[in-house]
Amino acid sequence: MRALFDLLRPRASRGQLIGGVLCLILGFAVAAQVQSNEAGTTFATARQDELAGILADLSQRSDRLRADIRDLEDTRAKLQRDGQGEAAMAEARRRAATYGVLAGTLPAAGPGIELDIDDPSRRVLSTVLLNAVQELRDAGAEVIQINDIRVGVDTFFLDRPGGGIEIDRRHLDPPYRFLVIGDAHTMSTALNIPGGVMKSIQTTGAAGSITQRDQITIRAVRSS
């Protein structure tokens, strides 16, 4: 009788033990990497060769995912390099624009002042305008336009016989209007110092006025 019971008792073979371990490993792998309808599949009834095939498939998927990650990282690196190139290009454009404004070859706009000199008697000399330009530059003026002439680093002033002033070989008749971009308060203060530009204008019998503006637009440019 005991021999009969021994024959009826279920016995686990080596293959079944291996299959059980593989099922356990697959359960964790699938739960961690894939969420699909296969997640609820029972692996206990699968054959050992089927489990080995599933493991091989998961390994291939893992390899493909790693390859995709590498491709994405390469793409990100290229985009970052391109982004740095765009930043460098934007900085180069910004510097070119700044130099163009300072050289007088580009229009400009910004806060500043208008200086108007009304001289019906034509008594204002070129030295008065030159002193005004120098005083404005010392006060931080970034861009200066007199009537329709853009002032540059090599701008020169001459008195014309019979009145009027020549600026860069161009004849100007009064009134003279300065459009200046810079700190309006600082420039206004510099022009109004005792014995300064405004006083010199008044001494000739001309009238000068300063108006601070939130926006000054300078369109005149110098030939390159």
At 6, list the tokens: 């021994």
Q: Does the CA dihedral 150-151-156-162 come out positive or negative? A: positive
- pTM of the predicted structure, to 2 decimals: 0.60
**Other Cβ atoms closer than 10 A to 54:** 19
Average pLDDT of the residues of the chain: 79
Query: 49: Cβ–Cβ under 8 A, 6 or more apart, which residues?
Result: none
Give yes or no for a contact between 143 and 125, defined as CB atoms under 8 angstroms apart: no
| Cβ neighbour number for residue 176 with a 10 Å cutoff | 23
Q: Which residue has the higher pLDDT, 23 or 170?
A: 170
Helix (H, G, I), strand (E, B) or coil at 34: coil
Percent with pLDDT over 70 in the chain: 70
Question: Would you say 113 and 141 are in contact if contact means Cβ atoms under 8 Å apart?
Answer: no
Tokens of 70: 């590498």
Instruction: Using CA atoms of 130, 136, 138, 144 in order, give the dihedral in degrees to the nearest 10.
Output: -90
pLDDT at 102: 75
Residues 20 and 51 sit within 8 Å (Cβ to Cβ): no
CA distance 155 to 167: 7
Reading the block at residue 58, the tokens are: 């998961």
Of 142 and 18, the structure prediction assigns the larger pLDDT to: 142
Q: H or E segment at 95? A: helix 48-103
Q: Is the model's pLDDT at 30 over the cut of 80?
A: no
